[in-house]
């Protein structure tokens, strides 16, 4: 990794230290309000590489509709120097993001990238760079970051790029959650040692999220204090953050006008010449948006399809939202909390303890709990299993308050300690909370699976931050028939841990099997669901041929009793509104292949399978990259413009959807598949619903603007 980074040495921007001393003079009053991580998304330059470029503008447009989101990120890099420079930009890999669209403006015209095998793309990029011609490259660094290299940014000029990614956007307990990740977390020592970075946007930053839901939305909440939330209709909302340079004002990071003024005064007093150099926005805090569906909505079966006219095959996304027939579990059970106390948890440790407090407070009186901490090694904080009564819980939490985070991350030792302490006579759940990479002890999934193979226990994982080894944690959790929840550092740890606890205090659906008869389907992923917990949705992607009404049957078991749910679903002959489904299906297929690799290792067949799917669908993977060169170079190299055609098709479809009414995707309105209402934050969120926790938590306040339909029409 380090050698590859050295090969990409460029003159990108280093962290601008001008005015930092002045900023420090005024920042002490805000120290308790701002949390600045060591690393964030931003422009990179080799350490000691001197002054570089400026990230002048960044504009983010998120459209969330039909069960998936499209995130478009446009950036403008400026070169104030007299010589050409290169730009290297790094940002965290979003949760399960499919990246297939990248555009670089050359001579004022957008040129779309094509996907190639990773080494071939890098070779082409380097050849064009050596010739001094415009080129750009997008690569994925495993599960960690996406890296964008742009060459050149001409002297005294600027360049514009756009990157687009797709994500499946499931709802849990009738609550949706979108994260725009900006914090990296720093998991690669070579990267940390080699690169310095500038995460500041100098002129303008905007984040606009358009939520269009076929189901009524009760409320929307954003973590950023500068966000304005506007309700347009019952199912249509908008979240906006708009920061622009104006007399040196900093409009980002949740600062009030008074705080901005204080910073400006401090800076101008120390260095009047630099009074207008404060960044308009710093890319060091994730942006998290929650939305809550209306109460008492029925369970549902939703189907979104894509099929071109005269095409033999189409693509579908099937979403099942079960109704409530999962009863509370009243028998006593054991809970083993395995908690990360490594150094990277230091800034989050107080929130972690508060989350554990809430989780323990929701347990039944007949439950028992045990707490295991791990960093360099694991140790048990409790003296055996403790009763979950309020007095015992409070005593243990006071003991936790005296702890401090530090050291490395020996995840294996933490789970090994948990396994040793299991009581075979009682049902047990392991609650694992970690934010890092297993960097001490075993780190391969196969080692963890061998550790757990002889025990019957569910593992539920809260993955904190953007740097954790998600393939390991999610693979382990899935194998142990639990679930994993991602938690941003700027998220609500307390609320999400409450939601996690509420899931496992109710029955689950076991051995879920979905059959479709009447229309031929194939290549469905995931193929099976061993357990579905309270509040979860079942989301499946697949291919279909033919058209017409098919019979959907869901067979499952609940506490040993067989259950069946049925409804008709309609597969249309032509459906062209959602071409992005082809990439989402391909990405889901690639994920399934990668899960196999994590268990049995990388084989030539699995590597070729991932590569073939990625090349066909135009996706960035560990083996493929996106590359931009001049149009005449694409032609000269004999590179077909397949991805460019796909991008144009997807852009046209997005524009058409934006100008059309919201589409109803429910298939079972006339013949409901499920007998009751879906799970919500109030009927499945414990004694205090998660939404109430969010409202009471430390999330930034937002300005809420209600815009009635009549006002919109006016």
- Asked if residue 449 belongs to a domain, the reply is yes
For residue 375, give every residue at least 6 positions away whose Cβ sits within 8 Å of its Cβ, in sequence order, or none.
340, 341, 342, 343, 405, 406, 407, 408, 409, 410
The β-bridge relationship of strands 42-46 and 200-201 is unpaired
- Asked if residue 396 belongs to a domain, the reply is yes
pLDDT of 185: 53
- Distance CA(301)–CA(620), nearest Å, equals 31
Task: Name the residue among 176, 182, 181 with its Cα closest to residue 68.
Answer: 176
Task: Name the residue among 147, 143, 138 with its Cα closest to residue 598.
Answer: 143
- Asked if residue 559 belongs to a domain, the reply is no
Q: What is the CATH number of the domain that holds 460?
A: 3.40.50.410
- Asked if residue 260 belongs to a domain, the reply is no
Residue 342: both structure tokens together: 């490594």
Backbone angles phi, psi at 403, to 5 degrees: -85, 160
pLDDT of 114: 98
- Distance CA(166)–CA(70), nearest Å, equals 5
Helix residue ranges, H only, 131-224:
189-194
Distance of CA 460 to the CA centre of its chain: 18
Question: What are the Cα distances from residue 552, in Å, to 135, 323, 332, 511?
Answer: 49, 16, 37, 16
Count of C-beta atoms within a 10 Å radius of residue 518: 14
- Asked if residue 464 belongs to a domain, the reply is yes
Q: How many structural domains is the chain composed of?
A: 1
DSSP string, 200-249: EESSEEEEEEEEE-SS-EEEEEESSTT-EEEEEETTEEEEEEEEE-STT-
Backbone angles phi, psi at 137, to 5 degrees: -140, 135
- Distance CA(223)–CA(227), nearest Å, equals 8
Task: Name the residue among 216, 81, 67, 100 with its Cα closest to residue 157.
Answer: 81
Contact 71, 167 (CB under 8 A): yes
- Distance CA(472)–CA(378), nearest Å, equals 19
- Distance CA(672)–CA(458), nearest Å, equals 32
pLDDT of 7: 36
- Asked if residue 512 belongs to a domain, the reply is no
Question: What are the Cα distances from residue 418, in Å, to 382, 414, 480, 675?
Answer: 12, 6, 14, 39
DSSP string, 518-533: SSEEEEEES--EEEE-
pLDDT of 124: 98
Question: What are the Cα distances from residue 24, in Å, to 28, 33, 246, 268?
Answer: 7, 14, 21, 12
pLDDT of 166: 97
pLDDT along the chain (714 residues), means of 10: 32 31 24 37 71 90 96 94 90 87 96 98 97 96 86 94 95 90 58 69 94 95 87 95 64 44 41 51 89 92 96 96 84 89 78 76 84 92 88 84 83 91 84 80 87 86 76 84 76 62 79 95 91 91 96 93 95 97 97 88 92 96 97 97 97 96 93 88 48 42 39 35
- Distance CA(610)–CA(589), nearest Å, equals 8
Burial of 169 (0-12, 13-18, 19+ CB in 10 A): buried
Helix residue ranges, H only, 43-186:
118-130
- Asked if residue 453 belongs to a domain, the reply is yes
DSSP string, 388-412: -SHHHHHHHHHHHHT----S---HH
Distance of CA 215 to the CA centre of its chain: 23
Domain interval for residue 498: 334-503
Contact 42, 283 (CB under 8 A): yes
Residue 19: both structure tokens together: 């005015």
- Distance CA(336)–CA(378), nearest Å, equals 13
Residue 678: both structure tokens together: 């879906």
Backbone angles phi, psi at 225, to 5 degrees: -65, -15
**Three-class SS of residue 591?**
helix
pTM: 0.84
Residue 600: both structure tokens together: 């049995």
Q: Find residue 85's DSSP bridge partners.
A: 153
What is the overall mean pLDDT for the chain? 81
- Asked if residue 366 belongs to a domain, the reply is yes
């Amino acid at each position: 990794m380090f050698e590859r980074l050295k090969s990409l040495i460029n003159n990108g921007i280093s962290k601008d230290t001008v005015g930092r001393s002045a900023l420090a003079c005024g920042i002490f009053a805000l120290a308790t309000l701002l949390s600045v991580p060591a690393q964030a998304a931003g422009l990179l330059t080799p350490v000691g590489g001197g002054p570089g470029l400026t990230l002048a503008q960044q504009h983010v447009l998120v459209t969330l509709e039909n069960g998936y989101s499209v995130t478009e990120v446009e950036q403008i890099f400026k070169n104030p120097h007299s010589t050409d420079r290169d730009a290297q930009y790094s940002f965290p890999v979003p949760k399960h993001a499919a990246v297939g669209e990248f555009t670089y403006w050359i001579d004022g015209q957008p040129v779309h990238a094509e996907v190639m095998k990773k080494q071939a793309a890098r070779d082409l990029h380097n050849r064009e760079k050596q010739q001094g011609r415009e080129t750009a490259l997008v690569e994925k660094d495993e599960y960690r970051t996406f890296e964008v290299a742009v060459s050149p940014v001409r002297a005294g000029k600027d360049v514009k790029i756009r990157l687009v990614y797709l994500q499946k956007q499931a709802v849990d307990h009738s609550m949706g959650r979108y994260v725009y990740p900006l914090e990296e977390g720093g998991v690669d020592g070579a990267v940390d040692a080699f690169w310095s970075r500038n995460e500041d946007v100098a002129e303008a930053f905007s984040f606009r999220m358009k939520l269009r839901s076929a189901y009524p939305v009760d409320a929307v909440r954003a973590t950023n204090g500068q966000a304005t939330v506007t309700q347009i209709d019952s199912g249509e909302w908008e979240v906006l953050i708009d920061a622009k340079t104006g007399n040196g004002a900093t409009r980002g990071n949740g600062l009030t006008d008074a705080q901005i003024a204080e910073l400006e005064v401090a800076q101008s007093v120390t260095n009047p010449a630099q009074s207008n150099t404060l960044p308009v926005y710093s890319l060091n805090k994730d942006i998290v948006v929650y939305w809550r569906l209306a109460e008492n909505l029925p369970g549902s079966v939703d189907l979104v399809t894509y099929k071109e006219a005269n095409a033999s095959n189409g693509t579908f996304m099937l979403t099942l939202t079960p109704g409530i027939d999962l009863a509370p579990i009243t028998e006593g059970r054991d809970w083993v909390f395995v908690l990360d106390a490594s150094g990277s948890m230091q800034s989050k440790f107080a929130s972690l303890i508060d989350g554990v407090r809430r989780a323990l407070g929701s347990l039944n009186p007949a439950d028992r709990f045990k707490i295991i901490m791990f960093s360099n090694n694991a140790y048990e904080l409790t003296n055996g299993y403790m009763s979950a009564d309020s007095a015992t819980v409070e005593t243990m939490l006071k003991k936790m308050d005296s702890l401090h985070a530090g050291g490395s991350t020996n995840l294996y030792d933490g789970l090994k300690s948990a396994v040793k302490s299991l009581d075979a006579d009682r049902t047990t759940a392991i609650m694992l909370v970690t934010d890092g990479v297993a960097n001490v002890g075993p780190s391969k999934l196969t080692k963890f699976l061998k550790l757990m193979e002889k025990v019957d226990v569910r593992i539920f994982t809260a993955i904190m931050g953007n740097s954790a080894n998600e393939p390991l944690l999610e693979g382990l959790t899935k194998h142990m028939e639990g679930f994993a929840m991602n938690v941003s550092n700027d998220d609500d740890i307390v609320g999400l841990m409450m939601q996690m606890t509420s899931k496992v205090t109710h029955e689950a659906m076991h051995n879920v099997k979905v059959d479709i008869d009447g229309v031929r389907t194939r290549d469905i992923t995931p193929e099976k669901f061993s357990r579905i917990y309270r509040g979860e949705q079942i989301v499946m992607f697949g291919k279909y041929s033919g058209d017409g009404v098919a019979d959907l049957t869901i067979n499952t078991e609940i506490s040993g009793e067989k259950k069946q749910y049925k409804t008709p679903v309609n597969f249309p002959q032509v459906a062209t509104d959602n071409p992005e489904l082809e990439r989402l299906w391909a990405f889901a297929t690639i994920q399934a292949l990668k899960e196999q690799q994590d268990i049995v290792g990388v084989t030539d067949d699995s590597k070729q399978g991932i590569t073939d799917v990625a090349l066909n669908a135009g996706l960035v993977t560990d083996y493929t990259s996106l590359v931009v060169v001049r149009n005449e170079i694409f032609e000269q190299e004999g590179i077909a413009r397949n991805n460019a055609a796909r991008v144009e098709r997807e852009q046209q479809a997005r524009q058409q959807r934006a100008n059309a009414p919201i589409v109803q995707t429910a298939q079972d309105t006339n013949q409901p598949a499920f007998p009751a209402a879906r799970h919500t934050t109030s009927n499945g969120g414990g004694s205090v619903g998660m939404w109430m926790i969010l409202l009471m938590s430390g999330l930034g306040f937002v300005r809420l603007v209600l815009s009635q339909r009549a006002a919109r029409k006016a």
